[in-house]
Structure 1
Amino acid sequence: MATIQGVAKAAGVSAMTVSNVINDHPNVRRATREKVLEAMARLDYRVNPAARNLRKGRTGTIGLAIPGGNSAYYGELAAAIVAAAVRYDLRVSIEQTGALRENELAALSLSRNRLYDGLLLSPVGMGSADAEWLNVDYPVVTLGELIIGGSVDHVAMPNVDASRAATRHLIDRGCRRIAILCGPVREEADVSSLRHTGYRQALEMPVCGWIPL
């Protein structure tokens, strides 16, 4: 198996120069770069990604843990994240958790083991009691309406504001008996409970009452 030292000898340069070419260092003359690349091709030299990542302290890969990829929402979400990552020369590794707590925690462990540089996590099975799992030493961003806590960034739709605005729109059009159809309203924040909160806030105005379902 060819080594950096072997490539350097074949190209008549130092091992440091070969390393600079591999890592696309700008301060390498074009002629030297071409000579090194020719030697790499002739010797069939292959870069060892694991060794390079260990030296650089990063993998160039971010993890995306989602409940599943067969729904239109998560499919479009994954496609948008992959497209954004490409612009920063990053790869995306997609984990399908099946909305199971143990699989979501496993995705966090993969990043903890430095297989990813960071993790985008869409939790469904985890709860507020799992907040301590998010107190990690690598970047994590949670996605979706479930609010777990922990010292991480969280991206979600403005469900309360949107539901309140939609209900107020009906009120402004003269509707006085407005019902809401949603899933179970839980104590922990999720889509249904957040949208129900916005609905109730709008109906607290004195112009109409509300209909509990």
Structure 2
Amino acid sequence: MATIQDVAKAAGVSAMTVSHVINDHPNVRRATRERVLQAMARLDYRVNVAARNLRKGRTGTIGLAVPGVNSAYYGELDVAIIAAAVRYDLRVSIEQTGALRENELEALSLSRNRLYDGLLLCPVGMGSADVEWLKVDYPVVTLGERIFGGPVDHVALPNVDASRAATRHLIERGCRRIAILCGRG
């Protein structure tokens, strides 16, 4: 695998100039940029993303731990989060927890090992006794109905208020036998 030094030697420039070309620095002459790009292509040079991330102290990836991706709700959530991440030049790594506590805790552990810069977690299996697991030194946001009152930010839909409003609406329309059907999501 070719290194920056190999590309620099092949293009007749310094390693810093190659770095400037890779990072699209504006102060590189067009002819020099072309020479470096040609050397990169000739040597099949690829940026070492792991080395770049080590230097920056970031992975450019956020984790998203959801019960599953095969439901309409979580599928749409995944798509929306990925679209938002792309706007910030981030990647999203999706983990399916199966709504199991141990898998949700494992997702927290992966972030602890710095595979992600932060984690969006939909806790279904975890309970209030697990709040200590959320006391971490990286960003975590919990999503959904499980509110722990813990040390992380939480985003939820106002489902209780929405249910009250829907029920009130049906009662005002004269309905007296009201039911709700829920599926496992």
- TM surpasses 0.5: yes
Residue of structure 2 equivalent to 1:163 = 163
Q: Please give the alpha-carbon distance, in whole angstroms, between the structure 1 residues aligned to 2:58 and 2:111.
A: 11
Residue of structure 2 equivalent to 1:45 = 45
Q: Please give the alpha-carbon distance, in whole angstroms, between the structure 1 residues aligned to 2:144 and 2:51.
A: 35
The number of residues matched between the two structures is 183
Residue of structure 2 equivalent to 1:107 = 107
Residue of structure 1 equivalent to 2:21 = 21
Q: If you compute each CA radius of gyration, which structure gives the higher value, 1 or 2?
A: 1
Residue of structure 1 equivalent to 2:152 = 152
Q: Please give the alpha-carbon distance, in whole angstroms, between the structure 2 residues aligned to 1:169 and 1:93.
A: 41
Residue of structure 2 equivalent to 1:141 = 141
Contact 1:120 1:143 in 2 (8 A): yes
Contact 2:7 2:36 in 1 (8 A): yes
Residue of structure 2 equivalent to 1:121 = 121
Q: Please give the alpha-carbon distance, in whole angstroms, between the structure 2 residues aligned to 1:148 and 1:34.
A: 55
Contact 1:67 1:124 in 2 (8 A): yes
- The answer for unaligned runs of 5 or more in structure 1 is 184-213
The equivalences for 1:90-105 within 5 A come to 90-105=90-105
- CA gap of 1:25–1:135, structure 2 versus 1, over 3 A, is farther
Q: Please give the alpha-carbon distance, in whole angstroms, between the structure 2 residues aligned to 1:81 and 1:62.
A: 10
- CA gap of 1:112–1:18, structure 2 versus 1, over 3 A, is same
Contact 1:126 1:148 in 2 (8 A): no
Percent identity for Structure 1 against Structure 2: 86
4+ residue segments displaced more than 6 Å:
none
Higher relative contact order, chain-length normalized (CA < 8 Å, sep 6+): 2
TM-score by structure 2 length?
0.89
